[in-house]
Amino acid sequence: MNTIIYKPSTYPNHPSSLFPQISRCKTTRQLKQIHAHFIKTGQIHNPLAAAELLKFLTLSTQLEIKYARKFFSHIHHPNCFSWNTIIRALADSDDDDPFHVNPLEALLYFSHMLTDGLVEPNKFTFPCVLKACAKLARIEEGKQLHGIVAKLGLVTDEFVRSNLVRMYVMCGAMKDAHVLFYQTRLEGNVVLWNVMIDGFVRMGDLRASRELFDSMPNKSVVSWNVMISGYAQNGHFKEAIEMFHDMQLRDVSPNYVTLLSVLPAISRLGAIELGKWVHLFAEKNEIEIDDVLGSALIDMYSKSGSIDKAFQVFDGIRNKKNPITWSAIIGGLAMHGRARDALDHFWRMQQAGVTPSDVVAEAIHSMLEEMSNQLKSVGYRPNTTQVLLNVDEKEKQSALHYHSEKIAIAFGLISTRPQTPLRVVKNLRVCEDCHSSMKLVSKIYNRKIIVRDRKRFHHFENGSCSCMDYW
């Protein structure tokens, strides 16, 4: 229950007397009480009072920004601080903001600020608007802002210049960013150097990013992380690992992001000993192995042949496992021919209330369609005689399409290397349609398929089954 946080008669007329109360507000209702008091006493027209209340409306994560917008619209002649406050709040928002605001509104408010003409933007205005441009990749608006910055004589401000460079980088305009970066020569601004390096990495220009990295006077752990991640993401796995080793030779201690960046390279090269070292380093240095880092470790262990270690990591993740984590362990099981365990974890994932990742679900669906088309091309006809549902023939065929054996085989085909044997365990007798399908699948995809049903083992190979069609 919200309590009344003040008694109007208790406070003198100056609005600053309510500022401590504003800072202690926890809900929109409480702020509305002070808002109402300001209106009643006429203090709402005081720029100082309006700006202070607006600041807390936009900075509190528990309060709705839509109320801040409404409040701002009732401020008579807002000062520069108020304009900057609302623009910053909108620039910090995302497209999926629960209050239905996005960075584009920051640009619109800035336009209104210029049109209003009563207040001139200052050096605190432009970083917010440039941030909105960067998020939206609005390069034309960004260049217009650059012109306004130059006109107002703010291009010499380091904070404004840094945000101009960042905007060009985020918009993919590396040539403009490069020119401005070297014009300003902000040697001590490590963050800006990192932004430039990351920009070249995003463009796939690893040579330029490495040259800039090598010429960097002072490197932070972020600088190393950007390069390691850039090499790994662009398929230069050996270089990523070399950079990881070089980093430690320079006495730069890896952090969470470093480990997350280098693990894909370790996984692809099968450098299991280095992977174990990374795992041990994380544990010794109390780096949390959450669902994200855990997924990377699971993938690394699975691809390096250590599925038991992958299980240990999976079981050790304390927070709720996300779809990527489940997909990593399921894929690892399938890769090691443990199709039954993979399918079992797939059902466990659903029972845990975790929706399968779009990648896994779509991949399985696509593989089922691919299998169906390939089977039809060699003369396969669905055998619906054992489908007892009271539906038409088309729906019976659809039911056969999603039998658990076929889902397991489809998952195995997308998760394992070519010619890897697939193993499926089923607690019921395999149906005639699935039996016929698996014979053909073994020949089409050149796979050995071993199915253990309630009665026997079936070894499918090159279009035949060891049971000689008698089971």
Distance CA 189, CA 274 (A): 33
pTM of the model: 0.67
Structure tokens given for 290: 């959450």
Buried b (16+ CB within 10 A) or exposed e, 105-144: bbbebbeebeeeeebebebbbbbbbbbbbbbbebbebbbe
Q: Residue 287's pLDDT is what?
A: 96
Q: What are the Cα distances from residue 406, in Å, to 351, 399, 409?
A: 21, 11, 5
Distance CA 210, CA 208 (A): 5
Structure tokens given for 380: 């396969």
Distance CA 409, CA 398 (A): 17
- Sequence-distant (≥ 6) Cβ neighbours of residue 351 within 8 angstroms: none
In contact, 200 and 169? CB cutoff 8 Å: no
Q: Residue 336's pLDDT is what?
A: 76
In contact, 458 and 467? CB cutoff 8 Å: yes
Q: Residue 20's pLDDT is what?
A: 62
In contact, 444 and 374? CB cutoff 8 Å: yes
Q: Residue 11's pLDDT is what?
A: 46
Q: What are the Cα distances from residue 336, in Å, to 238, 301, 339?
A: 25, 11, 8
Q: Which amino acid is at 16?
A: S
Rg (CA), the chain: 31
Tell which residue, 49, 51, 38, 41, has the closest CA to residue 119: 51
DSSP per-residue letters across 132-169: HHHHHT-HHHHHHHHHHHHHTT-TT-HHHHHHHHHHHH
Dihedral (CA of 2, 8, 10, 13) sign:
positive
- Total length of the chain: 471
Distance CA 401, CA 383 (A): 11
**3-class SS of residue 11:** coil
Distance CA 195, CA 220 (A): 12
In contact, 315 and 284? CB cutoff 8 Å: no
Per-residue pLDDT of the chain (471 residues; tens, 9 = 90+): 444 444 444 444 555 555 566 666 666 677 777 778 777 777 767 777 777 778 777 765 545 677 788 888 888 888 899 999 999 988 988 765 555 568 899 999 999 999 988 999 999 999 999 999 999 999 999 999 999 999 999 988 888 998 999 999 999 999 999 898 887 766 668 888 999 999 999 888 999 999 999 999 889 999 999 999 999 999 899 999 999 999 999 999 999 999 999 999 999 898 999 999 999 999 999 999 999 999 999 999 998 889 999 999 999 997 778 888 888 888 788 777 676 677 678 778 877 888 766 657 766 776 788 888 888 888 888 777 766 555 566 666 666 777 888 888 888 887 777 888 998 887 788 888 889 999 999 999 999 999 988 888 999 999 999 998 876
Distance CA 229, CA 258 (A): 8
Dihedral (CA of 307, 313, 314, 315) sign:
positive
In contact, 448 and 427? CB cutoff 8 Å: no
End-to-end CA distance of the chain: 69
User: What single DSSP character describes residue 425?
Assistant: E
- Sequence-distant (≥ 6) Cβ neighbours of residue 104 within 8 angstroms: 132, 136
Instruction: Kindly report the number of other CB atoms within 10 A of residue 85's CB atom.
Output: 24
Tell which residue, 208, 132, 209, has the closest CA to residue 171: 132
Distance CA 316, CA 334 (A): 21
Conformation bin of residue 195: beta by default, left when phi > 0, alpha when psi is -120 to 50: alpha
DSSP per-residue letters across 58-109: HH-TTS-HHHHHHHHHT-SS--HHHHHHHHHHHHT--TT-TTS--THHHHHH
Show the domains of the chain with their CATH numbers: 204-317 (1.25.40.10), 320-471 (no CATH)
Distance CA 187, CA 203 (A): 23
